[in-house]
Structure 1
């Protein structure tokens, strides 16, 4: 049984208009929640509410350890077209960030066809600059799960199970269950994240964990169930970025 997670890598801060807490408040909330690792991952610049590229380049101003918490510098990239383009430079991602999440957002791109979304995700899967697939159960951007999820395995991506989905995208829940089942079948890592936009929601995963329990999802495929597992995966991902594969 999944009892506790060690990390939350999808948190937003008040650098975005729809975020309502500071970096430090998120870190302290992670500590209060019993986490050992937290990531700061504001929206990329293609989103009207996103941060400029300079924000991501300067995240190194934040120490790696704050109040005993390992702080990772990340970004929630926007998928900007159906070729799978993203909205930060390779230099910023490789040299200034620890990880990236790539997500569809209606504010950036209008929903297309299932084949459009599938094509984009296949490109994202093959892109070494992307580490985590963000809230892909979103009903506005359906894709061919059975075709794409094996590609996430091939390219060593992690698929996000997003707690906010259970509050703001409730129609996504069945999709998320289907995605999680296929991840289990194909041995794809998942990462459970809060997508917190206010500090008190950092490290809150109750609904996402309950869904994983319901389908008997294997604990060994949950990246943030173990801090060493997560750290080893991130090191491997960053090596792949340097190699361009």
Structure 2
């Protein structure tokens, strides 16, 4: 049974108007919750509340270690069309960030058909600039899970199990369960994230872990189950890039 995780890599700071905590408050919350690492991953420029590219290029001013917490520099990319295009430059992603999450947001692109979403995710699977597939259980962006999940695995992507989905996108819970089952079937790694928009949500994974534990999801497929697995993933990701 998965009881505790080492890191939370999907958090948002008050650079966005719909998030309400500073970077330091996010880091402090991670420490208070007993995490060993946290990632800062704000929305990218195509989102109405997204940060400008300069925000992501300058994340390097944040030390790698703050108050004993390992701090990773990330970004939540937006799909800007159904060909899987994203909204940060390759230079920023490759040279200034530790990882990326790629997600659909209806503030950026309204939902299309299942085939549209499937096509976008298949392109994302082949894109070396995308590391994590964000909250893909969202009901408004359903895709052909059986077709796409194995491709995520073949291309080294990690599938996010997003705690926020269980609270703000409750109709998506069954999709998340389906995705988790397929990740088990095809041995595709997942990462459990809070998608925190306020510091007190950092490290809160109750619903996501309950769902995974109900499936007897293997801990070895959870990238952030412990720091050894997380560091191994980062090391492997750098090598394949």
- Which range, TM-score by smaller chain? over 0.9
Provide the residue aligned with 1:206 in structure 2: 206
Alpha-carbon distance in structure 2 between the residues aligned to 1:115 and 1:103: 16
2:166 match: secondary structure:
helix
**1:98 matched to 2:98:** yes
Distance 2:127 2:174 in 1: 27
How far apart, CA to CA, are the structure 2 residues paired with 1:107 and 1:158? Answer: 24
Q: Which blocks of at least 5 consecutive residues in structure 2 are unaligned?
A: none
After TM superposition, the score normalised by the length of structure 1 is 0.97
CA distance in 1, matches of 2:127, 2:222: 22
Give the structure-2-normalised TM-score: 0.99
The structural deviation recorded for 1:238 is 2.3
- Equivalent in the alignment of 1:169: 169
SS in 2 for 1:223: coil
Structure 1 counterpart of 2:66: 66
Give the whole-Å Cα distance in 2 for the aligned partners of 1:202 and 1:229. 20
Deviations 1:181-206 (A, max 9, x none): 00000000000000000000000000
Q: Which residue of 2 aligns with 1:120?
A: 120
Q: Deviations over 1:19-43 (max 9, x none)?
A: 1000000000000110001000000
Contact map agreement 1:163 1:192 (CA 8 A) in 2: yes
Could you say which residue in structure 2 is the equivalent of 1:179? 179
The answer as to 2:53 corresponding to 1:42 is no
Q: Deviations over 1:78-112 (max 9, x none)?
A: 00001100000000000000000000000000111
- 1:1-245 to structure 2, matched below 5 A, reads 1-241=1-241
* Gap runs ≥5 in structure 1: none
Structure 1 residue 239 displacement after superposition: 2.5
Q: Deviations over 1:54-73 (max 9, x none)?
A: 00000000000000000000
Distance 2:84 2:236 in 1: 22
- SS of the residue corresponding to residue 71 of structure 1 reads strand
Quote the Cα distance in structure 2 between the aligned partners of 1:226 and 1:9.
Answer: 13
CA deviations over 1:96-151 (Å, ceiling 9, x no partner): 00000000000000111111100000000000000000000001111000000000
User: How far apart, CA to CA, are the structure 2 residues paired with 1:193 and 1:161?
Assistant: 6
* Distance (Å, rounded) in 2 between the aligned partners of 1:75 and 1:234: 15
Q: CA RMSD in A?
A: 0.6
Q: How many equivalent residue pairs? A: 241
